[in-house]
Amino acid sequence: MQSALILGGGIMGLSAAWALDRAGWAVRVVDQDELPNARGSSVDDHRLIRHAYGAAAGYMRMIDPAYAAWATLFAEVGEVLHVPTGVLALSNAPGGWLAESRAALTGDGHAMSDLSAEAVTARYPFLAPDGIASAFHMPAGGVLLARRIIEALLRRLATRGITPHRGRATAVDPARGALTLEDGTTLQADLLIVAAGPWAPRLLPGLAARVRPTRQIIVRLAPPPERMAGWQAAPMLLDLAEDGGFYAVPPVAGTPLKIGDHRFAPTGDPEAPREATAAEAETILAFARHRIRGLDSYRVLSAAACYYDVQAEERFVMERLGDRGFVLSGFSGHGFKFGPLLGLALARAASDPALAAALPGWAAGITPPPPGLLAEVST
């Protein structure tokens, strides 16, 4: 039996472990913290999954296979950790991301409907119509319960005898498939997967020129009682603006309402504290005040920083690392939705040089999947 050593216990590392185990590999996972890692990018209440992707049609077309991969995982863990919500996208100007999304979605036959500003507020009275130049609603899409998914993956791996090893990596050796840990221990396998999120560029100098860690702020809110039911039944909200914009995740399955910034912040240090400052939280709230009626009556539950690994064009990096490894990086805030799909594709590519050569272009959303890459997924 071939062995695989995976550095990183977030959605990518655990999805890779799950998929490689299914494919018959002996798997070991290493992370610097106890899992679920509270400092990890994957451990939050929720992540979004949606077809709307601007002009990035490659990622739009990966959503249906991603849903099929999630269905496979949910069947194995015995729990569906996804809440359908649909998508409401708004823009304060014609053109741009929303128009590109509309064109791509329409071209591929996805169901959606355009809305006027008045129609938006008639459906969702907790929103204000000011400045809405364009809007559409799409019934497909929803919320992935991220923290519960990570916990479910860990339980599933445990039933397969896979218990994460705690250790901080100080060096990687792709030629030998080896990791050196802070305590001097060396771990080695036939295959090394580096999926260390915003910490990966520190270990791979070549990656540091392409991927950077950023500090993103989220604010968790409790709507006033009279608004709670409306928000619980609301779609995810993408409010786009040339000078900012924000997204809102509805309070589903016992989670809080969450808002965050669409833009990526300057480079940050993933070792920094995860608490957000009052000024950072206010920046996010300021983006939303024009759209959410009476936002100051909403109770702020918490504000936190999340560190993402971001590639300049927001394209995923999944490619060979020497002869015995792969690097998985650059997933920013939108990689979580593809975790199981990317894991299954990696497991296929790990045993097939032709698929491994085609993996980077597909993962970057540039080329269609080659025959056989998604053999484990049916849509």
Q: Output the domain CATH number for residue 134.
A: 3.30.9.10
**Residue pair 331/167 in contact by the 8 Å Cβ criterion:** no
pLDDT per 10-residue tile (average), the chain, 379 residues:
97 98 98 90 92 96 98 97 98 91 96 97 97 96 97 98 96 94 96 96 93 93 97 96 85 97 80 90 94 97 93 95 95 94 98 96 97 82
φ/ψ of 244, rounded to 5, equals: 165, -105
Looking at residue 378, what is its pLDDT?
64
| Residue 74 falls inside a structural domain | no
Strand order in the sheet with 134-138: 113-114, 134-138, 87-91, 236-241, 244-249, 257-261, 211-222, 299-311
pTM: 0.96
Distance CA 265, CA 310 (A): 10
Q: Output the domain CATH number for residue 319.
A: 3.50.50.60
Looking at residue 94, what is its pLDDT?
87
Looking at residue 179, what is its pLDDT?
96
Q: DSSP assignment of 18-79, as one string?
A: HHHHHTT-EEEEEESSPSS-TTSTT-SS-EEE-S--TT-HHHHTTHHHHHHHHHHHHHHHT-
- In terms of domains, do 222 and 299 share one? yes
Looking at residue 245, what is its pLDDT?
85
Domain boundary residue among 310, 340, 374?
310
Looking at residue 113, what is its pLDDT?
97
pLDDT in tens, 29-60: 999 999 998 888 888 999 999 999 999 999 99
Domain boundary residue among 290, 310, 330?
310
Distance CA 36, CA 148 (A): 10
Looking at residue 266, what is its pLDDT?
77
- Other residues' Cβ atoms within 10 Å of the Cβ of residue 125: 11
- In terms of domains, do 238 and 96 share one? yes
Distance CA 222, CA 333 (A): 23
Looking at residue 42, what is its pLDDT?
84
List the domain range (segments joined by +) for residue 124: 85-143+213-310
- In terms of domains, do 91 and 153 share one? no
Looking at residue 3, what is its pLDDT?
98
**Which residue, 62, 143, 55, is CA-closest to 106?**
55
